[in-house]
Structure formats: structure tokens, C-alpha cells
Amino acid sequence: MSTRNCRLAALHSFFAHVLRRNPDQAARLSRILALPSKRHPPAPPRYLDPPVVQALLRAPSRETASGRRDYALILFLYNTGARVSEVIAVQHKDLLPGPAVHLVGKGKKERVCPLWPEAVAAIKAQIRSTPADPETPLFQNARGHALSRHGVYRILGQQAAVAHNTDARVPTNISPHLLRHSCAVALLQAGVDLVTIRDQLGHVSVSTTSRYATSNLMLKCAALEAFWTATGMTSRRPKRWRPSHSLTNFLGSI
């Protein structure tokens, strides 16, 4: 259904352009532009559990410069939940005390995300020059330029294939948005409230963030167990009888 809507959006855009050039055909073209999109329920977001992310982080070889960069990139994506467009735009000047990083998301919306000490150490380990130029990209390709969107996807695909060979739980198709989903779900499982997660991910509305809570089976099971306990219908196990110390001494004296 989503594929149909994408194709329909392209047709709407094309025929709107045709209408501007040929207003005399407005009667015919308006029938095409009036075709509505199909409504469909959104698919539940995919995510990786923390042990799977740990297996992915073990894939890059930190003995090489590219491996240290790949490790820092994966850890940064999982730590911040950043979009791929935000990651490739980060420069060294965006690293803040705290430690934290300044990100610019959709609609030039700015936010600050805290960084784990491990993420900061990984970023410093992959820096080529000391001290680094504040205007240079944080994650660079072999030519010293900022990674492209395609480059980030390629790195994740290569490291996912390596990790999959040693741990079958790691999928071979990993995208930056999958790590973004994984960050959100891990925060939810840690008990972080939706408002804080919304600010971490840069969502406009908390309703966008809430879909992670509705799709997570672990959270649903925990809520159901809490509900069952609150009903008081849990059957109590009878206490096991144990002889007293005096009775044990008496029986032993017989």
C-alpha cells in the first residue's frame, strides 16, 4: 500500500506540473489530481536488541583506521539515535562539553544529545589529526571528506555481513534508521519516559515516539504482568510445613 501511495504522489506531482503548462486541460487533469491516497496502518518498527547491537559492534577491527571509524560510527548512531543526514553533517565543533553533541535535524530543528564515555573515546580514537580542525566532518571517508549517505549504508552493510558470520542473530540488512529504532526501544526498556526519548530522537510530537512502546513485546508483557498482579488473582502457594527445633530434638531423642 505504501508503494502505491509513493507512485501516486509522483503522478500527482507530474500532472500538477502539466496542469501549470496546460490550463486548458484542467478538467481532465483535475480528475487525476483528485485520486486519494489509500490509508493503511503503519508497519511496526524493526529494532535490534542490545545483545545483537553488541555483536555488531564487535565486527569492526579497531586495529585499522577504517575499523576504528566504523566502530565509532555504529556506536554514535546507537548512542544518539541520529538520522543519517544528521550524522554526515556533524563536525568536530559540534562536540560539546558534558560530553554531548549538537545535532541539526529536520526543518533545521536543533537538539543536544549526551554521549557515552565509550562513544567519546571511540570518536577520539578515529580522529586522524590532533588537534582536529573544528570545521572538518566528524566521520570521514578515505579522501578526508564527509561520509555520504551511501557511504554510511555501505559501512553498515559490510560490518553487518561480518557480524552475521559469527552471530546469526545479526541481520545482514542494517540501516541507520534501524539503529535509531533500536536506540528508542532500548531507552523505553530502561524505563525512560516518552518525552525524554522524543527530545533525544528529535521528534516533533510524542505521538511519533509512542509507536515504539506499542510495538515492543517486552514492554507489553511487563505491563500485563503488572496488571495481573494488581488484580490480586495470583494464586498463593501454601506454605511448606517445617518441624520446629524442639520437635526435631524430641523426635531425635526417641
Question: Which is the catalytic residue, given 68, 83, 111, 198?
Answer: 83
CATH code where residue 110 lies: 1.10.443.10
Same domain, 150 and 213: yes
Same domain, 16 and 87: no
Dihedral sign, Cα of residue 228, residue 232, residue 234, residue 240: positive
Q: Is 181 a catalytic residue?
A: no
| Alpha helix stretches (DSSP H) within 48-135 | 50-57, 65-80, 84-89, 117-125
Same domain, 24 and 103: no
> Is residue 227 included in any domain, yes or no?
no
What's the whole-number average pLDDT of the chain? Answer: 86
Alpha-carbon span 230 to 233, nearest angstrom: 8
Predicted local distance difference test score (pLDDT) of residue 195: 86
Over 80: is that where the pLDDT of 171 sits?
A: yes
**Span 46-63, average pLDDT:** 93
> Is residue 126 included in any domain, yes or no?
yes
Predicted local distance difference test score (pLDDT) of residue 248: 82
Q: Is 62 a catalytic residue?
A: no
**Span 150-164, average pLDDT:** 96
Predicted local distance difference test score (pLDDT) of residue 116: 94
The CA distances from residue 25 to 9, 28, 35, 101, 152, in Å, are: 20, 6, 17, 53, 45
Same domain, 16 and 66: no
Q: Is 177 a catalytic residue?
A: yes
Same domain, 136 and 209: yes
Over 80: is that where the pLDDT of 168 sits?
A: yes
Predicted local distance difference test score (pLDDT) of residue 39: 80
Same domain, 55 and 155: yes
Q: Is 106 a catalytic residue?
A: yes
Question: Which is the catalytic residue, given 31, 40, 93, 106?
Answer: 106
pTM for this model (two decimals): 0.72
Q: Is 40 a catalytic residue?
A: no
Whether residue 102 contacts residue 110, with contact meaning beta carbons closer than 8 Å, is answered with: yes
Q: Is 12 a catalytic residue?
A: no
Whether residue 94 contacts residue 134, with contact meaning beta carbons closer than 8 Å, is answered with: no
Same domain, 72 and 29: no
Give residue 96's identity as a one-letter amino acid code.
Answer: L
